[in-house]
Chains A and B, each alone.
Chain A
Amino acid sequence: MSSATTPPDSDPTGRRRVHSMLKLYYGLNEEGTAAEQAESLDPCDINGPHFDPEVYLNKLRKDCSLCELMDHESCMVKQIRSLDSDMQTLVYENYNKFISATDTIRKMKNDFKKMEDEMDCLSANMAAITEFSARISGTLQDQHAQITKLSGVHTLLRKLQFLFELPARLNKCLELQAYAQAVSAHRRARCVLQQYSHMPSFRGIQDDCHVIMEQLAQQLRQKFRDGGSSAKDLSECVELLLQLDEPAEELCDKFLSHAQSRLEADLQGLEAELKDSAFTDTGGGSVQKTSPGSNPISPSSSSVINPFLSPTAGTDILEFIDRGCNEFVSSLCLVIASYQELFINRPQEGELASKNIPEMANGKLHVFVDTLAARYFSLVERRIQEEKGVGDNSLLVRALDRFHRRLQAITKLLPGSAVPSHGTEIVVRAARERIKQYLSALQTFYHDSLTDVRQALAAPRLAVGGASASGGGVTSKDATPSLPELLTSLSNFILNQLKSVLASVHLFTAKDITFSNKPYFKGEFCSQGVREGLVVSFIKFICQSSRQYCESAGDRGGSTPPALLLLLSRLCLDYETSTISYILTLTDEQFLVQHHTPVTPVTALCAEAREAAQKLLNHYVKVQGLIISQMLRKSVETRDWVNTIEPRNVRAVMKRVVEDTTSIDVQVGLLYEEGVRKAHSSDSSKRTFSVYSSSRQQIRYAPSYTPSAPMDTNLLSNIHKLFSERIDIFSPVEFNKVSVLTGIIKISLKTFLECVRIRTFGRYGLQQIQVDCHYLQMYLWRFVSDENLVHFLLDEIVGSAAHRCLDPSPMEQSVIEVICERG
């Protein structure tokens, strides 16, 4: 107050100090002035904190003129006055506030005085209460201790009583079958009894309890063993037994062995069935022959159990699997479920939790399930293996489906188990096996068909209604079928059979079959199994078996009829041109084969088929050529050519040769196209004959008949050979009639030539050869692609005969012609 009233002009520094002290007092910070302070370090700043009046005055005195000083002084006085009046205004304004504040403070002082008195009174009272309380507790001290002791004794006594009563109580519980109570009671007492077991009385109790509990455990075990009780009972039983320190492992084992005995019974039932059917199921294996028209392996006849198709007199596989599923698998599932309920999925409390029962139990369960499932699987596999009749596939597929589907339950119950995957493996194996069976069935079918064809071929042409010979394979109403008919029917039969097999196999991949979406059935089954294992193998088998006909026959008596060779050759050729690609496309479409693994390309198969066709046709040519060769050979070898009579007609064997050649021509013409001829002289045999006889023959043979120059013959012959191509006798033929016939005739005439060369001829012998060759010339040229070939070979024969002739005087050409005309 005093400082505030100090006149401002007297000491501005003091006033400023007061100002700042006020600010400090009221908690105003100095921040607002900080900038100001920084600005006014100058001691000459009259408003700055560092203002030094001495310096200021000196400065003014130094700097200013008198006049200025005067002005400055008056200005300053003016400022001081205005400040003074401001201050006074402020003081007056706040005066009333100070007055009332002083009043308030004074009033408060009085009130506090009163309160202080009351507080003193209160503290005095409290001291009195404390004193009283201390006195009371001092008097009650002894009694309190006594009561506490008594209550302790009481509790102990109750416990003891419990202990003493325990055996009786347990007995009662036992009687009432209140096992849970008994166990909990026993558990409560167990530790104590254990602890005080050195005292005889407690020991007695403990022993009694022990016996009783033993009895109880016995009963529980009995109950557990009976198993007939409900799942809840059972679970309680197990729980109690576990609490009774019964080893969990043993319990698991017991439970499982108990279950096992039941499951074993199921399995034995299945096995018995298996044995039964093994006796009855013997004659499966081959595709049934049925009359054409009705499809023997029709997938539509699904549920109808045709006794003709399924040879199992006992149960079919579906029934078997059904039984297996219903009895074994479902009880197995039950066992698993209840076991899990009992040992694995229970909330574990107390010390039991530490024993890690679920893990142990789970391990046991897995072993248990695995062993039993393995036995079951082996039975199922045995049953599947018995399923050899390829008649109705749908039954097997449905059985497998069911088998597989039921195993899924185990997956759900027992997530980590290998059983379902084993099951899938079985299905996969069965599918593989099935494909193999189908392949062999197809092969058998193919062989049977061929046998039929063979019989049809062997049947005499005249036989009417001889279709009986052709069994299921080839039938024709009124006469033995011709080659083309046989071919088409054979090829159709094979194709239909293959298609129906494909349809049957297709069942494996049907959408509603559970296992069809397994990766195996999506990928490998289609590509490696069906396409490669079945279709490609079958085609390869056809080719291979065809080739075998070429190898075995001819050498060692295994005589394949030539017509069959021809037919098979055409079949293979047809396969090459169209059938193979058709079949494979069909397969690929049906099975949506995605080729992850390399598969046999169509071209390779076609090449194989073509090779087989070529081989067969070559062999056909060889066989037919051989037949004619043999006739010619015998005819040359058995005759005494030196002492033969003058030829009067063509030898019968030559006519036979021509006849046979003609019939071969017809036969081949039925299956193969005509083919191209070289330099076809379409006129009669006359013309070619004249060329052959007059110009060529004269020049060729004239020198050899004159014994002057032996060199000439060779020379001419060699010159001739120089210009003609080398003739490969047993060379591959083309797929047409002319080429085939050319091959056969080449073989025959070459044989004729070689045979002539090792004989010696008399005059008439040579002439007979001339006649024969002319006759052949007349008829054979028309069959071959290049008639010059026939000319050349016949020239060579006559030439060789002339060489080998003791008295070479050839017959007049005109006479030869006459004889040949006459027949």
Chain B
Amino acid sequence: MKMDDDAPVIYGLEFQARALTAQTAETDAIRFLVGTQSLKFDNQIHIIDFDDENNMINKSVLLHDAGEIWHISGSPADKAVLTTCYSKTSENRVLTCAAVWRMPPEWESGSHESPDDSSNNPQTLELLCHLDNTAHGSVACVLWEPLGDGKRVISLAENHVLLWDLQESSTKATISSTATLEGKGQLKFTAGKWSPHHNSTQLVTANDTAIRGWDLRSMSQIYCIENAHGQLVRDLDFNPNKQYYLASCGDDCKVKFWDVRHINEPVKCLEEHSHWVWSVRYNHSHDQLLLTGSSDSRVILSNMVSISSEPFGHLVDDDDLSDNEENQQEDKGKEPLQDSIIATYEEHEDSVYAVEWSAADPWLFASLSYDGRLVINRVPRALKYRILL
């Protein structure tokens, strides 16, 4: 292993960007997708491959000429399929639309030979279908069914929840059911998350300062945390291992953890950022690791042991260990694990709007700031070993 293994790897995009996702279906390569935002030039999707061995980045660029990308999301079943939310200007009207795309099959072969050329001659995404939303207004985000077969997506458009069925190899999208949030004023969803628990029958959405849970079978609200944050709620994420636990972040600079069975008070509250927190992500495997990105240009990695599924550290099967006593002693020394900030990453110089864990390597994550800087970081090795051992 190299000495500077923990050092961040930085990649700069030419355009401003806010959309970042890990390629969900890809479990071998460490791969992130970044969508750019430019009103004047053709927008792109950068496919960032991280070579863990050599600590290097290989990129490929696909053209996304439909408009600037606000949100991007990869299919959990087919790694070539993805959705974007993009804004389209027509007749002096800006509308954010959503569409399902397929990456051209050749992008991989084309990119590796001459990375420099790729920008010159980028390939175009193949449109599979629009998630037609003219009736419902701008789309905030598109969510794939977690762990699903890539045939169901939800789009959040203004105050509507739209559940889509993708048919005929995702070339046709039909609305299977909808729900609408009614209330005073102009209600608008800002973020949402499809729960991986309960057989993927639950959805959580954020609008203004409230967090709402939905049952997708009946398309009805099941709980509502009013004033979950002092100001706008920006992002949500489910604990991948504890079905009732949920993290949220918002403009009050706080990250809050909720047990949706007891919504009166958050289980825990973090206030480490000095400006709005735009993104919060649980590590997929080790749910004590939590990543947050904020417009104070910082990314913070926290270790929330006390509310994780492993509050006493990694549960080691004692049977597997021949030398029990030693291990027990170690365990005792390890036991009082406390919630702590592991690291604050300051590589960004502009607001960080997105952070993502890699789908392939649980110890690796990427963060994207508005100025187009993508930073790939690792969980500090000391912590990694402490969690593993």
Contact = CB atoms under 8 A, between A and B. Distances in A.
A760 B16 CA distance: 14
Q: Describe B's contact surface by its main secondary structure.
A: loop
B253 interface: yes
Nearest to A553: B230
Contacts of B40: 707, 710
A142 interface: no
Contacts of A730: 253, 274-275, 296
Given A731-B274, A760-B87, A721 B39 contact: no
A757 interface: yes
Interface string A601-632: 00000000000000000000000001000000
B252 A555 contact: yes
Interface string A695-727: 000000000000100110010011001100010
A799 to B, nearest CB: 11
B230 A554 contact: yes
A59 to B, nearest CB: 118
A18 to B, nearest CB: 119
A803 B351 contact: no
A342 interface: no
Contacts of A714: 12, 14, 16, 371-372
B349 interface: yes
Interface in B1-54: 12, 14-16, 38-41
A821 interface: no
A710 B252 contact: no
Contacts of A223: none
B295 interface: yes
Contacts of A793: none
A714 B94 CA distance: 25
Nearest to A641: B94
Contacts of A513: none
Interface string A803-814: 111100000000
A556 interface: yes
B223 to A, nearest CB: 17
Contact of A806 (B39, B252, B371): B39
Contact of B39 (A722, A757, A805): A805
A557 interface: yes
A721 B89 contact: no
A728 B39 contact: no
A557 B209 CA distance: 12
Given A555-B230, A642-B93, A730-B275, A710 B38 contact: yes
Interface in A776-815: 803-806
Contact of B350 (A707, A721, A722, A729): A721
A73 B252 CA distance: 158
A389 interface: no
Interface in B51-92: 87, 89, 92
A673 interface: no
B94 A803 contact: no
A446 B334 CA distance: 45
Contacts, number: 68
Nearest to A804: B39
B370 interface: yes
A728 B274 contact: yes
B279 interface: no
A729 B274 contact: yes
Nearest to B41: A710
Interface residues of B, number: 32
Contacts of B350: 721
A544 to B, nearest CB: 18
Nearest to B264: A556
A762 interface: yes
B324 interface: no
A750 interface: yes
Interface in A717-758: 717-718, 721-722, 726, 728-731, 750, 754, 757
Contacts of A643: 92-93
Q: Describe A's contact surface by its main secondary structure.
A: loop
A556 B350 CA distance: 30
B227 interface: yes
Contacts of B275: 729-730, 750
A555 B227 CA distance: 7
B14 A754 contact: no
B249 to A, nearest CB: 14
B123 interface: no
B144 to A, nearest CB: 23
Contacts of A803: 16, 39
Contacts of B92: 642-643, 762
A617 B91 CA distance: 49
Nearest to B70: A758
Contact of B276 (A711, A718, A754, A760): A754
B296 A729 contact: yes
Interface string B89-124: 100111000000000000000000000000000000
A646 to B, nearest CB: 14
B297 interface: yes
Contacts of B14: 710-711, 714
Given A642-B89, A729-B275, A556 B227 contact: yes
Contacts of A754: 276, 295, 351
Nearest to B370: A757
A535 B12 CA distance: 59
A721 to B, nearest CB: 5
Q: Which of B41, B94, B371 has the most CB of A within 10 A?
A: B94
B170 interface: no
A710 B16 CA distance: 10
B207 to A, nearest CB: 13
B227 A760 contact: no
A805 B351 CA distance: 19
A711 B94 CA distance: 25
A722 B297 CA distance: 13
Contacts of A707: 40-41
A643 B370 CA distance: 25
Contacts of B178: none
23 contacts: A554-B230, A555-B229, A555-B230, A643-B92, A643-B93, A707-B41, A710-B38, A714-B12, A718-B349, A721-B349, A722-B349, A729-B275, A729-B296, A730-B253, A730-B274, A754-B295, A754-B351, A760-B39, A760-B89, A762-B92, A803-B39, A804-B39, A805-B39
Given A710-B14, A729-B295, A730-B296, 15 more contacts: A555-B227, A555-B229, A626-B230, A710-B15, A710-B40, A710-B41, A714-B12, A714-B16, A714-B371, A729-B274, A729-B296, A730-B253, A730-B275, A754-B351, A762-B92
Interface of B: 12, 14-16, 38-41, 87, 89, 92-94, 227, 229-231, 252-253, 274-276, 295-297, 346, 349-351, 370-372
Interface of A: 554-557, 626, 642-643, 707, 710-711, 714, 717-718, 721-722, 726, 728-731, 750, 754, 757, 760, 762, 803-806
The 10 closest A-B pairs by CB, nearest first: A729-B275, A555-B230, A730-B274, A728-B274, A721-B349, A760-B94, A554-B230, A643-B92, A707-B40, A642-B92
